[in-house]
């Protein structure tokens, strides 16, 4: 459920947040954008679980409309969600959205001590029907060995009519050897001593006679 925000702007948005509300905007399908306020605790509990499609009832408007979460605004530290954008959609229309990737299984390459798992791409851009948007996409890494990688092109989506829009070469998971850089302790001590001598010499040169 949402209520229409009578006043907009950062100052008024801060007041709504102080009242436990999440400021948001609903737009799309040829209708004018509507600034709304939602219950922050309830809305964020769904968002953090990966929910993207909502049935939204706005006070003063008839019926319930289907909306898709399109964007989130964060505070200056990037930790807390302070704003959301929702687009009006139809359950059968195809949309572009981002879906979280969940790695499952124990990679073969991790059985060797010192190897580590890299997961640089944690979300995929996909195209699919609104009704089919998954909460997450599972990628099985059981057969992943050291030196090998799973790319976006290798990911199997839940339905055949879904498309991956992320760069096909983007690495989703990879097992690599962790390199240990050993430092010669004697060399470090010698370098520190040399630096101390240089600083002492400079200080003496700059001293008054």
**For the chain (length 209 residues), average pLDDT per consecutive 10?**
91 93 94 94 93 92 91 91 95 93 94 91 96 94 94 95 96 86 55 54 51
Would you tell me how many other CB atoms lie within 10 Å of the CB of residue 63?
Answer: 7
pLDDT of res. 88:
94
Give me the pLDDT at residue 205, please.
Answer: 54
> 21 forms bridges with which residues in the sheet?
39
Per-residue model confidence (pLDDT) at position 176: 93
pLDDT at 30: 85
Q: What is the predicted pLDDT for the residue at 112?
A: 87
Total-model pTM: 0.71
Evaluate whether 175 touches 115 at the Cβ level (below 8 Å).
yes
């Amino acid at each position: 459920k949402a209520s229409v925000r009578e006043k907009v702007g950062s100052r008024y948005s801060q007041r709504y947040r102080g009242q436990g509300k999440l400021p948001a905007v609903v737009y799309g399908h040829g209708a004018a954008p509507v600034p709304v306020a939602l219950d922050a605790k309830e809305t964020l509990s769904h968002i953090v679980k990966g929910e993207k499609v909502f049935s939204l009832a706005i006070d003063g408007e008839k019926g319930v409309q289907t909306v898709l979460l399109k964007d989130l605004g964060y505070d200056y530290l990037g930790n807390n969600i302070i704003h959301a954008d929702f687009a009006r959609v139809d359950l059968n229309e195809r949309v572009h959205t981002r879906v979280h990737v969940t790695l499952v299984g124990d990679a073969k390459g991790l059985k060797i001590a010192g190897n580590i798992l890299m997961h640089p791409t944690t979300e995929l851009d996909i195209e699919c029907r609104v009704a089919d948007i998954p909460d997450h996409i599972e990628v099985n890494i059981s057969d992943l060995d050291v030196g090998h990688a799973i790319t976006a092109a290798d990911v199997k989506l839940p339905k055949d009519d879904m498309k991956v829009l992320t760069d096909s070469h983007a690495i989703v998971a990879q097992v690599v050897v962790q390199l240990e850089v050993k430092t010669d302790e004697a060399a470090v001590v010698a370098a520190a001593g040399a630096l101390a001598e240089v600083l002492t010499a400079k200080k003496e040169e700059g001293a008054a006679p």
